Structure 1
Amino acid sequence: MRLSNRNKAPVYNFVNTLLMMFVTAGIGAFLLNEYRFNILGVESYLFLLVPVMMLIVFHLNGRQIFEYDSDGEALNFKNRNIIPFLDKPLHDEFPKYKLIKYDVINIFFIKRLYVTISSKNSGSTMLKYEISYLTRKEVNDLQLSLNKVVKANKEKNELK
C-alpha cells in the first residue's frame, strides 16, 4: 500500500506564505500604532503575538509531507518539511520482518507515529514520524497496513 500527502505541498506552502505575510503585516501595524497613531495601548502587542503564535503552531505540528510504501518486501517511510532547511528529512527503509510494533499518539492537534523495529545491536530501535498533516482516513489506512505486517510477523514467529 502506498500513502502520500505530497500532493498537498502547494497548500502547505500557501499557508506558510500566508502566515509569513500575517507576521509582516502585524509588525507593520504594530510599528504604525506605536510611532504614528498610538490608538491602542498594550493591545497593540497582539499584532505581533497572534501571527507569530499561529506560525509557531504550524511548524510545531512537525514535518508536513509524509510518504509510506509497503509494496514489496520492505517498508519505506519518508517524512520531510516543505521548507528544506528547517528540518532534516527522514527516510527509513527496512524489511517487513523487522517490524515489531507501532503506536500512533494523538495529543490535541499533534499526531506522531512510533515504529519499533528489531535491531542486531540493541535489540530494538524506535523510529518517530510526524503525521499531524494526515487526514483521519489516511491515518486509519496506515494503521490497517501496519497491523497486517505486525500480524504476519507474529504468525511467522509463532511457527518458528
Structure 2
Amino acid sequence: MRLSNRNKASVYNFINTLLFMILAGGITGFFLEESRFNILGQESYLLIIIPVVLLGIFYLSGRQIFEYDSDGEALNFKNRNIIPFLDRPLSDEFPKYKLLKYEIVQLLFFKRLYITISSKNSGSTMLKYEISYLTKKEVNDLKFSLNKVVKANNEKKLLNNK
C-alpha cells in the first residue's frame, strides 16, 4: 500500500506564503500604528503576535509531507518539510519482519507515529514521524496497513516458536 500527501505540497506552500505575507502586513501595520496613527494603543501588538502564533502552530505541527510504502518486502517511510533548509528530511526503509509495534499519539494539533523495530545492537529502536497533516482517512489507511504487517509478524513468531 502506498500513502502520500505529496500532492498537497502546493497548498502547504500557499499557506506558508500567506502566513508570511500576513506577518509582513502586521509588522508594517504595527510600525504605522506606532509612528503615525496611534488608534489601537496597546492592542497594536496583536498585529505581530497573532501572525507569529499562527506561523508557530504551522511549523510546530511538524513536517508537512509524509510518504509510506509497504509494497514488496520492505516498509518505506519518508517525512519532510516543504521548506528544505528548515530541518533534515527523514527517510527510513527496513524489512517488514523487523516491525514490532506502532503507536499513533494525538495532542491538539499534533499527530505523531511511533514505530518500534527490532535491532541487532540494542534489541529495539523507536522511529518517530510527524503525521499532523494527514487526513483522518489517510491515518486510518495507515493504521490498517501497519496492523496487517504487525499481525503477520506475530503469526510468524507463533509458528516459529512451535
Superposed, 1:1-160 pairs within 5 Å as 1-160=1-160
CA positional deviation for 1:138: 0.1
1:40 CA drift (Å): 1.2
In 1, the alpha carbon distance for the partners of 2:66 and 2:152 equals 24
Question: Structure 1 CA distance, aligned partners of 2:9 and 2:132?
Answer: 14
SS across alignment from 2:121: coil
CA distance in 1, matches of 2:9, 2:56: 18
Work out the number of aligned pairs and report it: 160
When normalised by structure 1's length, the TM-score is 1.00
Report deviation, 1:18: 0.0
Distance 2:159 2:11 in 1: 48
SS in 2 for 1:51: helix
2:37 partner amino acid: F
Structure 1 counterpart SS, 2:132: coil
CA distance in 1, matches of 2:147, 2:40: 56
Distance 2:40 2:24 in 1: 19
Cα distance, 1:109 vs. partner? 1.5
Structure 2: gaps (5+ residues): none
Once the two structures are TM-superposed, the CA of residue 3 in structure 1 deviates from its matched residue by 0.1
Provide the TM-score with structure 2 as the length reference: 0.98
Partner SS for 1:156: helix
Percentage of identical aligned residues: 74
Distance in 2 (CA, whole Å) between partners of 1:23 and 1:16 is: 11
